Amino acid sequence: MSCKKFRVSWVSYLNLDTDLHKTRELEILKALADKGHDTALVATISRHYFKIKNSRTKIISVPIRSAPLVSHVLYTGFIFLFLPFYVLVSKPDLILMDPSISVMGSIPTLFFSRFSRTKFVLDVKSTPVEVKGFSAKLAEFWFDISVVIAKMMFNGIVSVTPMMKSEVCRKFNIDQQYVDIWTNGVPINLFNPQSSLIESTELRKELGLTDKFVVFYHGVLSASRGLTETVDAIQIVKQKYPEVTFFLLGAGPIISVLESLITQKKLENNVIIHHPVPYNEVPKFIGLSDVCIVPLPNVSYWKFQSPLKLLEYLAMEKVVLATDIPAHRTVAGDKKCCIYLESTDPSEIAKSIEYSYINKAKLDEWGKTGRKIVKDQYTWKKVAEEVEHYFCRMTFFD
Q: How many domains does the chain have?
A: 2
Q: Are residues 218 and 140 in the same domain?
A: no
Q: Are residues 271 and 152 in the same domain?
A: no
Q: Are residues 391 and 363 in the same domain?
A: no
SS (H, E, C) the chain: CCCCCCEEEEEEEEECCCCCCCHHHHHHHHHHHHCCCEEEEEEEECCCCCCCCCCCCEEEEEECCCCCCHHHHHHHHHHHHHHHHHHHHHCCCEEEECCCHHHHHHHHHHHHHHHCCCEEEEEECCCCCCCCHHHHHHHHHHHHHHHHHHHHHCCEEEECCHHHHHHHHHHHCCCHHHEEECCCCECCCCCCCCCCHHHHHHHHHHCCCCCCEEEEEEEECCCCCCHHHHHHHHHHHHCCCCCEEEEEEEECCCHHHHHHHHHHCCCCCCEEEECCCCHHHHHHHHHCCCEEEECCCCCHHHHCCCCHHHHHHHHCCCCEEEECCHHHHHHHCCCCCEEEECCCCHHHHHHHHHHHHHCHHHHHHHHHHHHHHHHHHCEHHHHHHHHHHHHHHHHHCC
Q: Are residues 49 and 117 in the same domain?
A: yes
Q: Are residues 201 and 249 in the same domain?
A: yes
**Mean pLDDT over all residues of the chain?**
90
Q: What pLDDT is recorded for position 14?
A: 82
Exposure string over 195-208, b if 16+ CB within 10 A, otherwise e = ebeeebeebbeebe
233 CA to centre of own chain: 25
Is residue 30 included in any domain, yes or no?
Answer: yes
What's the pLDDT band for 82 if we cut at 50, 70, 90? very high
Give the C-alpha separation, 6 to 106, whole Å: 21
Is residue 204 included in any domain, yes or no?
Answer: yes
Q: Are residues 179 and 300 in the same domain?
A: no
- CATH number of the structural domain spanning residue 15: 3.40.50.2000
Give the C-alpha separation, 391 to 237, whole Å: 51
Is residue 164 included in any domain, yes or no?
Answer: yes
What are the tens digits of pLDDT across the range 51-67? 666 678 898 888 887 77
- Find, among 190, 7, 205, the residue nearest to 91 by Cα: 7
What are the tens digits of pLDDT across the range 227-248? 999 999 999 999 999 999 999 9
Q: What pLDDT is recorded for position 16?
A: 82
Percentage of the chain lying above the pLDDT 90 cut: 68
Q: What pLDDT is recorded for position 229?
A: 97
Q: Are residues 149 and 217 in the same domain?
A: no
Q: Are residues 301 and 154 in the same domain?
A: no
Q: What pLDDT is recorded for position 300?
A: 72
Is residue 1 included in any domain, yes or no?
Answer: no
pTM: 0.90
What are the tens digits of pLDDT across the range 1-15? 456 899 999 999 888
Q: Are residues 301 and 367 in the same domain?
A: yes
Res 398 pLDDT > 60? no
- Find, among 287, 297, 255, 284, the residue nearest to 272 by Cα: 255
Q: Are residues 218 and 327 in the same domain?
A: yes
Is residue 349 included in any domain, yes or no?
Answer: yes
Q: Are residues 239 and 368 in the same domain?
A: yes
User: Which residues span the domain enclosing 46?
Assistant: 7-185+379-396
Q: How many CB atoms lie within 10 A of CB 169?
A: 17
Q: What pLDDT is recorded for position 137?
A: 77
Q: What pLDDT is recorded for position 384?
A: 93
The mean per-residue pLDDT over the stretch 260-285 comes to 95
- Of residues 1 and 184, more confidently modeled: 184
Is residue 190 included in any domain, yes or no?
Answer: no
Q: Are residues 165 and 201 in the same domain?
A: no
Is residue 192 included in any domain, yes or no?
Answer: no
- Of residues 177 and 216, more confidently modeled: 216
What are the tens digits of pLDDT across the range 101-113? 889 999 988 887 6
Is residue 191 included in any domain, yes or no?
Answer: no
Maximum separation of any 2 CA atoms in the chain, in Å: 69
Res 186 pLDDT > 90? yes
Res 140 pLDDT > 90? no
